[in-house]
Structure 1
């Protein structure tokens, strides 16, 4: 792939378009083969364009969009009535192969509904899944899916998530044989509901992934697995809980290290360690949940993501495009179907 073109919905998010425009500039400076299509109102991006150098300006395309999907829009309303929105245009560009991927920090439900309707799922995939990185032991990362694309899921769906997660980990993290686990209320075979037990059996009967069995919630970050699979309801709760804990740890560290003179003195001595811990725990670097299982690349950025976090979402889309993730998942799913 000579260049990567990413369609960026600059009208979504809680902090305003300037955050996404700053992230776009940083991404263009970071990747010399990156081209970005800005989808939004010209009144928003025109002054930004004028601040860019000639080289960066040449790698930007502008798409004027008359409508915006608000955070309060219902997914069905956005799908039917916001066909000229910046979010829909970004997805349409992927479907038309004018963009290799799209990124949006807008309404999650609307984004998933539009992406599912426009791009469709890959052959053999029942439903797409939201997948994202989380920190784990020894400075490494773990993939968790589904994060809320499908709150209701059957055993076959969990099996498909496991296959897709394994492919994703291999392509985007370079893990040769990713260890895949099912999230459960215990590690023992007798634990869990019918859904989890059925999925467990499907994975044990298959040779398509390196399946290691069950993990509990406290083991997601322990380093035992590279990919943890669950339904969207449970996965979303696990994700939000982990983000809350990370924020609590960071806020408490800041409070404790400024509590009194002794704490401030000790914090200066421990500053290198504290910075390293902050970098590991900072949720910004894990921003960018990918909607996998579709015929195109869609990355969902947090609605409250700052420019640094937004950069990581664009980075995620870039890497998926470079690795042709949808094509590789399609090939893997086809081989699994033949196996069955």
Structure 2
């Protein structure tokens, strides 16, 4: 198994990427090679300093870097020797099995859509986030920002993608699926919610339990909750704020509140594309990088992308 890691992505790169790489290699003993992609002169000495096992990595020099404030499409086109561009080339050519970066989010999305592309039958790939629940389990919310304006058939596909991810990667047996709404009763909500509901209700490939409200997200009502990207992103940013408040009030050691820390989840997978791509938070620390690599490994080990291909081919999800 070969995993590509952008060494130049993130506010604290390449140091935190190196430290995260070390944590991963110390924890994961399976057969994996990490392709470390970035400006070689900026991190090779760190590999030695942190005693990285050289037999388990391969350094790929990428002399250019795409900054956070650069135009994604323009930067990818003009910086073919950047860590992100080279990472996608390695992924599309089959030299690596997954690619993870905490770099320019827009560039990662553009690279994914134009290099890796959506699985046949998937109208719109989506991004999801894990939601900590009060009972100690985790749930999944999608979309959280990739698709601001959605149609009912998009949300129906998000439900299928989220259901598969919950099963195959999060390990949730027979996940339940809910539609985020302003009330529990069928017929509630705006036009999008009202027209999505019957599609989910008739979808035999998911276990749809009906509408769920915002207060249900942290309860054990639904394992997977579907919404448009505008709503999902507002919820995601609010969840991040909860942790910020906890830190400000010195409550970050609370067992439940700590689960809102981004580092626990590493990166956001793009669901519905042909190969595993993970996008990390710009402020990723070593633990976040470790967990992002672990998540990439899980997606490869579970053969997740091929599972999606099979599902959309056999079920003909619209």
Scaled by the length of structure 1, the TM-score of the pair is 0.88
CA offsets per residue over residues 243-279 of structure 1, 9 Å max, x none? 1112212431449xxxxxxxxxxxxxxxxxx553454
Among 286, 298, 316, the residue aligned to 1:307: 286
Shift in Å, 1:77: 1.2
| 2:239–2:260 CA contact under 8 A, matched in 1 | no
**Greater helix content:** 1
Alignment of 1:37-48 (within 5 A): 37-48=35-46
Where 1:138 maps in the other structure, the secondary structure is coil
> 1:127 is matched with which residue?
124
Q: 2:21 aligns with which of 15, 19, 24?
A: 24
Separation in 2, partners of 1:160, 1:94: 25
- 1:153 equivalent to 2:150? Answer yes
Q: How far is 1:132 from its partner?
A: 2.1
Structure 2, unpaired ranges of 5+ = none
Does the residue aligned with 2:5 lie in a helix, a strand or coil?
strand
1:94-243 to 2 correspondences below 5 Å: 94-243=91-240
Deviation, structure 1 residue 34 = 2.3
Give 1:35's match in structure 2, choosing from 14, 33, 40.
33
Aligned residues of 2:240 and 2:260 also touching (Cα < 8 A): no
Shift of 1:137: 2.1
Alpha-carbon distance in 2 for matches of 1:97, 1:73: 28
Q: Which aligned runs of 4 or more in structure 1 are off by greater than 4 angstroms?
A: none
- Distance of 2:145 and 2:212 partners within structure 1: 19
What secondary structure sits across from 2:264 in the alignment?
A: helix
Q: 2:270 aligns with which of 285, 291, 304?
A: 291
**Partners of 2:42 and 2:131 in 1: CA distance:** 33
State whether residues 130 and 147 of structure 1, in contact with CA within 8 Å, keep that contact through their aligned partners in structure 2: yes
1:327 pairs with 306, 313, 317, which one? 306
Report how many aligned residue pairs link the two structures: 317
**Matches of residues 78-89 of structure 1 in structure 2 within 5 Å?**
78-89=75-86
> TM-score under structure 2 normalisation?
0.94
Counterpart Cα distance in 2 of 1:321 and 1:332: 17
Partner residue of 1:318 out of 294, 297, 309: 297
